[in-house]
Homo-oligomer: A and B are copies of this chain.
Amino acid sequence: MDKPADVAAANQEYYRAFEAGDMDAMSDVWEHSDRVVCTHPGWSTLRGWGPVAASYATLFQNGQHLQFVLTEERVTLHGDAAWVSLDENLLGDQGGVTVATLNVFARTDGRWCMVCHHGSAVAATIGPD
């Protein structure tokens, strides 16, 4: 559990759970604590597992079907913490959106859990494309 591949696997599980609308799996991805933070694109920040869990439950209940094509994924380990920078390219109902994303994981008792998720839509007018 000290290899970037372990963090990458935890990160992949986040997107698998999201695409499947699987609340139990999403619950397993996240650390259940007051210190977790989550900022969905355009949202204000949710702090603590309760509000974070509620946000996913709402998204999943709304039947929002999203598919993620992940690009530019970079995993960095630093001791018992890790960050993953990537672009979420969203297909589906909100097709064509790219979300710049930072996911942070913390290792506790040998297990990597998500502690931060921050996504923000990339404005079409910015960047070389």
Contact = CB atoms under 8 A, between A and B. Distances in A.
Interface residues of A, number: 34
Contacts of A17: none
Chain A interface secondary structure, helix, strand, loop or mixed? strand
Contacts of A27: none
The copy count of this chain in the complex is 2
A114 to B, nearest CB: 12
Contacts of A3: none
B102 A118 contact: yes
A115 B42 contact: no
A106 to B, nearest CB: 5
Contacts of A81: 78-81, 106
